């Protein structure tokens, strides 16, 4: 199925960005904690889970792109992971964009002076009207969409916008195959408040293919949830390497779905 242009014009992108139900929740997190709950609060499970996600995302970046690239980090939140990419990959530029103004304020506060400050910028904005400011650059440009789509009211409209602007999109999402993920989304007050809803991976791939993208690489990994009790999280972390070696079981049991999509220019 191909999704037509109707998805693009069925309302203002900016209006829909402002209407996302969870933006106020993320703004409140930034005010209360100085950042987002899973980055600002020192919880063992959150540290381990986000560190593994960052490692895999950066590994995929380095495997498929040169360091001289321009990255638009859509849904950058409080800037923690944007700065992590900047320090590790050293791209030509990385621009963090998020609709939660409180998150962007937190990102700017923690952005350090020096070389990193020269390549990183943060601004308030949304995925429905995102622009690729480096379309004409001789260096590759791409969008990193980390933990964003499962918060959206209209993910297919967001994908349509990405297709207009970016030939490469690196997406990190909760694994919709995982039944535990579905339980957490329905019963965790944090997940309900932030309107989280994971997608079936074949559906997500089909949506991107509908706009001309192909799957370049896809990985399922990680067992440790963000807000897991420490003892349970350490047990899951210990068995994680074993689970990840079993091909079919890995797709069901692991919590993170990381995909690089690319379409013809």
Which residues, 6 or more positions from 179, have their beta carbon under 8 angstroms from its beta carbon?
A: 252
In a domain, 50, yes or no: yes
Per the domain annotation, does 58 fall within a domain? Answer: yes
Q: Show the domain range for 244.
A: 6-263
Torsion of the alpha carbons at 185, 191, 193 and 194, rounded to the nearest 10:
-110
How does pLDDT run across 125-183, given as a tens digit for each residue?
999 999 999 999 999 999 999 999 998 989 999 999 999 999 999 999 999 998 887 67
- Our count of domains for the chain comes to 1
Residue at token pair 């998805």: 7
The more confidently predicted of residues 185 and 227 is 227
Can you tell me the mean pLDDT for 91-111?
93
pLDDT at 7 over 50: no
For residues 142 and 162, what is the distance between their CA atoms, to the nearest angstrom?
10
Average pLDDT, the chain: 86
pLDDT at 51 (0 to 100): 95
**DSSP state for residue 182 in the 8-state scheme:** H
- At residue 5, does pLDDT exceed 60? no
More confident residue, 187 or 179: 179
How far lies 153's CA from each of 20, 50, 194, 216, in Å? 7, 24, 12, 26
pLDDT value, residue 118: 87
What's the CA gap between 180 and 118, in Å, rounded? 41
Alpha helix stretches (DSSP H) within the chain: 6-9, 13-19, 23-33, 37-40, 44-64, 80-89, 101-110, 115-119, 155-165, 179-187, 189-193, 201-209, 230-244, 247-253
pLDDT in tens, 37-79: 666 567 899 999 999 999 999 999 999 999 999 999 999 999 9
pLDDT at 243 over 90: yes
Tokens of 34: 């100085």
Quick one: average pLDDT of 203-208? 98
CB burial readout 50-75, b (16+ within 10 A) else e: bebbbebbeebbeebbeeebbbbbbb
1 located within any domain: no
CATH number, domain at 213? 3.40.50.150
* Two structure tokens written together for 63: 């495997």
For residue 32, the tally of other CB atoms under 10 A from its CB is: 12
């Amino acid at each position: 199925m191909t999704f037509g242009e109707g998805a693009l014009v069925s309302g203002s992108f900016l209006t829909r960005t402002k209407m996302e139900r969870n933006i106020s929740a993320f703004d409140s997190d930034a005010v209360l904690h100085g950042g987002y709950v899973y980055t600002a609060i020192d919880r063992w499970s959150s540290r381990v889970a986000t560190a593994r996600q960052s490692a895999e995302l950066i590994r995929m970046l380095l495997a498929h792109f040169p360091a001289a690239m321009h990255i638009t980090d859509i849904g950058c939140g409080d800037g923690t992971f944007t700065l992590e990419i900047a320090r590790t990959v050293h791209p030509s530029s990385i621009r963090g964009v998020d609709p939660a103004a409180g998150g962007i304020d937190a990102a700017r506060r923690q952005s350090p002076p020096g070389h990193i400050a020269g390549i990183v910028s943060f601004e308030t904005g949304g995925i429905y009207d995102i622009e690729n400011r480096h379309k004409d650059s001789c260096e590759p440009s791409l969008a990193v969409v980390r933990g964003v789509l499962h918060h959206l009211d209209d993910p297919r409209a967001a994908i349509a916008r990405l297709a207009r602007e970016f030939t490469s999109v690196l997406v990190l999402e909760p694994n919709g195959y995982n039944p535990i993920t579905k339980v957490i989304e329905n019963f965790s007050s944090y997940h309900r408040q932030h309107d989280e809803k994971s997608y079936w991976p074949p559906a997500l791939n089909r949506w991107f293919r509908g706009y001309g993208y192909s799957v370049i690489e896809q990985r399922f990994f990680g067992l440790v949830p963000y807000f897991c009790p420490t003892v349970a999280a350490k047990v899951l972390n210990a068995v994680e390497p074993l689970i990840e070696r079993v091909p079919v079981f890995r797709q069901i049991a692991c919590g993170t779905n990381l995909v690089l999509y690319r379409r013809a220019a």
